Amino acid sequence: METEVKLTKLASCAGCGAKIGAGTLARMLEGFRTHSDSRLIVGYDKSDDASVYVLDKNTALIQTTDFFPPIVDDPFLYGRIAAVNAMSDVYAMGGEPKLALNILCAAETMSEEAIREILRGGYDAAYEAGAIITGGHTIRGAEPIYGLAVSGFVHPQKVLTNSNAQPGDVLILTKPLGIGILTTAAKAELADKEILNKIYAQMAALNKTARDIMVTYPVHSCTDITGFSLLGHGFEMAQGSNCTLHITVDEVPYHPEALEFASMGLVPAGAYRNRKYAGPGVKLCREISLAMQDILYDPQTSGGLLFSLPEKEAQACLRELQDQIPHAAIVGYVTEREEAFLCLH
């Protein structure tokens, strides 16, 4: 639907590109007093996608929240993408989202109809995921912001974290990169409708199918690729696992149009924050163009899952994924810790 005011014009940053840098966030949280609890098996100290608290021997609670400014002008699509992005953290932990709360800040210039459509988009995504939105909180403010606080469930023995990759594992990525660059180009009115429709559909797609297939294999580690980019999230996986991730750059799926815009310098600020954070842990093992590096550092909104599993299982898993998610690809492998946490080949 058309809105009186374009939503993206009301926001200074788009989508997950608005995230505070990972390095900055870690410094800000350092030294806080926190309670310890043996049932909390994943907390914020692990830089993981969500917290996990064991309720009983068969059930663990996953909690997460995610919200951001508009990345598209259509309010329904914005609401859906933001909700899909928030629920993705639960899928990355191997769980299923079940309950959610709306988080909404509406700009003063927004109509009631636009606000309703944002919320409808969120409810639409939650319904498809099998989750229930049970309430939330809404305020007025300078910029629109929408997302969800999500609770999900998983068996305590089947929790996936971003810190358990094993030497000998293969890495699979389920969605192509380039979202941040392309939405930056869209804000400058340089991206054509065909590519925008393609990336909008990608961002609006749940990671449910990828999760449902992934958990039938002996996956060791998983994260979803969002604002910290493939290399930022990969860096956290490598650090947490005390391994080195080798990325085969030519195998990484990305939108070709993003490479062209990156070559023109249309790169979101978040990519530079991601480079500053993860760059010291990255080794270039061959010459890689600056534009391609920008894609690898590009902040993604509602990106795919990156997970590691034994090499002997990887091809079967990939075939099953590609039957429903054509862009899924093997993008690298894991070794014992080397000098760098990430090696680009």
Beta strand 51-56 pairing with 59-68: antiparallel
Phi, psi of 247 (to 5 degrees): -105, 120
Burial 292-318, CB ≥16 within 10 A → b, else e: bbbbbbbbbbbbbbbbbbeeeebeebb
Residues 245 and 221: their CA atoms lie apart, in Å, by 12
Q: Which runs of E-coded beta strand occur in 7-95?
A: 40-42, 51-56, 59-68
- Single-letter code of the amino acid located at 82: A
Q: Which two tokens stand for residue 271?
A: 């990519």
User: How many CB atoms within 10 Å of residue 156?
Assistant: 17
Phi, psi of 77 (to 5 degrees): -65, -40
Beta strand 243-247 pairing with 342-344: parallel
Active site residue 16: yes
- Greatest Cα pair distance, the chain, in angstroms, is 55
Distances (CA, A) of 69 to 2, 92, 187, 219, 301: 18, 22, 13, 33, 11
Q: Among candidates 327, 68, 48, which has minimal Cα distance to 205?
A: 327
Which residues lie across from 96 on neighbouring strands? 153
Exactly one of 16, 222, 243, 343 is catalytic; name it.
16
Element (H, E) at 323: helix 311-324
Distances (CA, A) of 240 to 51, 164, 223, 278: 15, 7, 12, 13
Phi, psi of 264 (to 5 degrees): -85, -5
Decide: helix, strand or coil at residue 104.
strand
**Catalytically annotated residues:** 16
